[in-house]
A and B are shown apart, each in its own frame.
Chain A
Amino acid sequence: MENLPFYQSHGSEIELFERAWRNNLPLLIKGPTGCGKTRFVAHMAAQLNLPLYTVACHDDLTAADLVGRHLIVDGQTVWSDGPLTRAVREGGICYLDEVVEARKDTTVVLHPLADDRRILPIDRTGEILAAPPSFMLVVSYNPGYQNFLKGMKPSTRQRFISLAFDFPSAAQEEAILIGETGIDEMLAKRLVSIANAFRALRDHDLEEVASTRLLVYAAILIKDGCEPTLACRAAFVETLTDDPETAVALREVIDATFGL
């Protein structure tokens, strides 16, 4: 427990996670990218002393990528467990990040694990694994309406209890920056104020908003001796927009915060 990843709690999510784990309930975490979902799961896995298998989901992810496959070794076929299977065998946490990116025919393998059966049938070997009590399935996704055409099937979604994450309050986000990078409080305040100014532009001027992750990047650059407005431009402006006039406005916000 010495190597507990730093995690600044927003509310009752730690308690809820523990309850879900103790009661064998699968968990869905939704929230914008970079708001601490992955960090939270890493923290909880360490806290509960469980092995963690993380899978970043994408278009081409197949059921075999999750469950496992036969490999040919020296002319012989050898079965190799996928991360999901390993997490089930070891009674750990399997975390599927951005689960809506995976195709539907891939995510169906989760169904028998995500309800009270808690089993994982492995078609290719004929094995049926029963998940031990300590196994937990956690999935996350970003509900921005850009994902509408992807969406999550209600039949999948309704198997999970859900936690909604959003960007933390200003005070919490400042604490995250300080805890994560060791910058001083004044600088943390200014960075968070810039991020919140940009977040007000969500949907209207910017498709993406500044994540806590980007704030951490800016703080790291400044900590390294980078001039603050330069660091903020690199971390925010150029990452968030390609439109020159929008970029000018974002830079004005940065200058208005740090001064010229």
Chain B
Amino acid sequence: MEEYVGELWHKLVTRVADKQHAEAAVNLDEISKTAAIFFRALGGDAGLNLSAAASTRHGARRGWRDRLASSGERIELSWRDGETLRLPEKIDLFSERSLNRDMYLWLTALSAADVDDNLPWIVRNQTATLATLTRFPGLVSRYYRLVGALLLLRTLPSKLPIEEAAQESAIRQALQQPGSIYDLPTAKKPFQPVLLWTHPSPPVNASNKVSSSDGAPEREQSDDKNVAKSRRKHAAERTDMPDGKDGFLMMFRAESLFSWTEYINVNRPQDEEDDIERAALAAEDMDTMTVARDGETSVAKLRFDLDLPSAGEDDTPLGEGIPLPEWDYKKQVMQPDYCRLQEYVSPQAQPCELPTQLRRTARRLRSQFQALVPTRTWLKGQQDGDEIDLDAWVRQEADLLSGTHADGRGMYRAQVNQQRDLACLLLADLSLSTDAYASDHARVIDVIRDSLFLFSEALSATGDRFAMYGFSSLKRGNVRFNRLKSFDDRYDGLARGRIQAIKPGYYTRMGSAIRQASALLAAQPQRQRLLLLLTDGKPNDLDRYEGRYGIEDTRMALHEARQQGLRPFCVTIDNEANEYLPHLFGVGGFAVIRKPEDLPKELPLLYAQMTR
């Protein structure tokens, strides 16, 4: 009963609060792109994602809740971990929209400051504030406006019991005179959240007993990587965790829904490994599937194992194949011979003709692409050339005779021959995610298959040298490299048969596949060498090859490719690609095809544009 009333009350408060400054609310969605660029410009780590923070239960006394517009007892705090910068999904604290917007920018700027993470929380935030204000003096007036507005929302120390009042006074002073407070007095009740500061890690249920005297939230809660579809971290509405009176400082919502990707991202303890793996295979690494985890305890335990490669993993013999290195961004080291890649040819492939439904498009593409074939043409009126331009000569003589001034045009005809000196390797992602439906009638893999067919048709019309491979992986020992057409293979019935036989399977260890493709491409004598990657999502694999680790290894592999004089370019159908592809390929280095069904037609056209 009490709980029921509590819920009603909760709804009421949130609704009232929601209305309060709804008209002035700024949503993360409106500002996320700006904030992300702002963050990077201020020196923030370019590899981080920007995401909405989960609401966190703060345990502060109720007076605070009443005053804190819109958030009720739930509150979205900002924090940053190794992969993600989290900001509130919406800020409507203040009645002035510009203040709400400034708060986003302030939190972003603060998170970009390079400050020792090990400082006590209150010192760290003041240090970051000072550093930010020093480098960006233009923020000073905005900061103090925000502080002034925020203090009006906080309970006055005079209204609090002694201990809490001391705490609150310290916080106020730290906000108003950053750099002047060295530690936070302790109190039984948690202090009111400081929304102008960031948290060193996901704020969690650090009780006053355990938490060190600085009062900082403990860093033990594992959070997710990217919550794919909605940027928001979902948190269940109800909780059966003990209330603030038990001395919890910040209570993370107990039942979080973790999306499948983030779930398998966690490095599981060994005993769970098998189950999870089976489940993971069954779930076919689809982002959409969500799995509920009950309670933060198990999640918190999982967190402890994060980054420690489990024993079994490293002992597994890697077996046959081409040894390839892999980049560990945390240690900043290249791990030599860390992966094994096996090249194979689909055994079931039978020679075949081009599928009938593609023939018309193929014919059109072929004639378009023939236009790219180099032809020798004569240019007239050149300053230099193989032959005299008689027309120009005659005109010049006539001009001279008639006393008109010569126009200075060239007297030669030159033959130009824009030789195409180009090799292209197309590398297609064949991981299990391509089994998903791209439209009502086609799976991603079907779209990729058609793309490979049309691409081959178009390229064989130009005479450009090209090769095609597919890839997938199952941990580092099995990077599968499917030869569809090598540079030396002809594009014939058999090559078509191999394209026809492609099947989705396993995971996406992009770095290894790129390294192998680069080696093959770098051996080509052509001056321009294009490495085209065709994919539907991020790098990922079971053994910690996910999230930032996978991204950074892929980035390194691409860097190596560029060092070898290759030009990597990515074509993707992942609508969220903007969040990570610029980091990998640079702004001009990729194209997102919004409608996957368009890929087969778009891919050859993109190629034509790039190589014209």
Contacts and interface: CB of A to CB of B under 8 A. Distances in A.
A132 B209 CA distance: 84
Nearest to B43: A200
A146 B566 CA distance: 11
B607 interface: no
Given A201-B40, A203-B586, A204-B582, A148 B567 contact: yes
B562 A250 contact: no
A249 B587 contact: no
B34 A205 contact: no
A49 interface: no
B46 A258 contact: no
B384 interface: yes
Interface in A83-117: none
Contacts of B414: 62
Nearest to A67: B384
Contact of B138 (A72, A204, A255): A255
Interface in B575-611: 582-583, 586-588, 611
Max chain A Cβ within 10 angstroms of own Cβ: one of B37, B137, B397: B37
A257 B136 contact: yes
B135 A249 contact: no
B406 interface: yes
Contacts of A260: 138, 141-142
A54 interface: no
Interface residues of B, number: 42
A250 B414 CA distance: 47
Nearest to B41: A197
Interface residues of A toward B: which range? 35 or more
Interface in A232-251: 245-246, 248-250
Contacts of A128: none
B291 to A, nearest CB: 33
Contacts of B406: 72
Contact of B34 (A64, A206, A245): A245
A85 to B, nearest CB: 14
Contacts, number: 107
Interface in B337-383: 382-383
A246 B37 contact: yes
B34 A256 contact: no
Contacts of A248: 34
Interface string B36-70: 11101111001000000000000000000000000
A249 B396 contact: no
Contacts of A171: none
A21 interface: no
B41 A198 contact: yes
B521 interface: no
Contacts of A254: 138
A256 B137 CA distance: 7
A193 B138 CA distance: 12
A126 interface: no
B400 interface: yes
Interface string B141-178: 11000000000000000000000000000000000000
Given A200-B46, A205-B37, A259-B141, 6 more contacts: A69-B384, A148-B562, A204-B583, A207-B587, A207-B588, A258-B137
Query: Which 8 residue pairs are nearest across A and B when measured between Cβ atoms?
Result: A64-B384, A249-B37, A259-B138, A256-B136, A197-B41, A203-B586, A62-B384, A245-B33
15 contacts: A62-B383, A65-B383, A149-B528, A207-B588, A248-B34, A249-B33, A249-B34, A249-B36, A250-B37, A252-B105, A254-B138, A256-B109, A256-B138, A258-B138, A259-B138
